[in-house]
Amino acid sequence: MSIDLEYFEVEINGRIHPIPKHEFSPCEKQLGKEGYMITIWDSNIEAAKQVIVENGIKHISIATSDLNFLLQPEFKDIEGIYINCHIKDLAPLENIKEIKFLDLRCDKKGKIDFKCFPNLKYLNCEYSKRYKNLTSLHKLESLSLDGYTETDLEEFGNFRNLTELYLIFANCQSLKGLHLLTKLQKLTLDECKKLVTLNGLGKDNAIFELKISDCRNLKDFSSLDKLNPNCDVFLNGKIYISGQDSEADQIALLVNNLHEIGCEKQIILEIQIVLETLKKNIEYNDWKKELKICVVNLNKIADKYDAIYTEEREEIISTIQYILVDYSSIEVEKNLDKFRNW
């Protein structure tokens, strides 16, 4: 995230035009971002051109009504463009051939051809059929994609230089195609509701960090065994242990965590029994009824020992959500809050 600094001040016809400038964070500098990023809106385009020429600015944040100003020669060498406003016509972007960083957080009405950006390395955007030739970006190193609609990731096989991939609200059912990405190091899967298997990951991947959040239909974790044993896997914010796709292992992890917090052994034992009962009974009975029984019993433990404070509470809630991962996370949280007194 950029660190806000002051302004460039440009005088045009006796009037001072402030141009907001932002210094890049150490993390952004490691990606190759240099100098400052400036913000451009409709009223300061002429002043921004002067700042770009005089200060060698390579990154611009755009808050204008259109992109026609990008056709002017002062913008041809820009390397980073960040759009966070409604722009219908994206065609002027295609004039910036040297762009390496592109953030398209705008509506998906505009059309764009990614073949125009052969040097693009970092892309953050929503998926749209109007965006053509996404897979032509052979130099892409980092991709954050929202709303990908295909059922697998086979076309991602062209991203041979990709090291980081973030998929949000993707419709893929498997990860087929990712085995070709031998340079992939970080993979994040967030709210991919239709994902049922991690098939597609393989021993050829260089992944050392895998984060999976709210992929509620994901059942098959077997492909994790093919990854580097040193790969850190996080499931819904918690460290995943091999074989942990059974609720029993999650309960065992909770027991260890409660011991580390300093919770008393008798309290841990009683909590463990209550959660194991929940895990067993939801196979045959209504989950909401069993969750209510579970929470009522935990209430009794909390009252009996005057226990279950903030740290314990977060660990227990996380475990219950894992046990009930097949059900709506919103409904689970709602029912938890309805019955618990701790």
Cross-strand pairs, 36: 23
**97 by DSSP, 3-state: which?**
coil
State pLDDT tens for residues 159-207: 999 999 999 999 999 999 999 999 999 999 998 989 999 999 988 888 9
Q: Amino acid letter at 157?
A: G
Beta strands in 13-130 (DSSP E): 15-23, 36-40, 59-62, 80-83, 101-104, 112-113, 122-126
Q: From CA 173, how far away is CA 230, in angstroms rounded?
A: 26
Residue 1 is predicted with a pLDDT of: 42
Of 231, 228, 193, 196, give the one whose Cα is nearest residue 211: 231
Determine the Cα–Cα distance for residues 92 and 94; give it in Å rounded to an integer.
Answer: 5
User: What value does the CA radius of gyration of the chain take, rounded to a whole number of Å?
Assistant: 25
247: nearest Cα among 270, 238, 205:
238
Which percentage of the chain shows pLDDT scores above 90? Answer: 54
Residues of the chain with pLDDT under 70: 1-5, 238, 241-249
Separation between Cα atoms, residue 75 and residue 320, nearest integer Å: 54
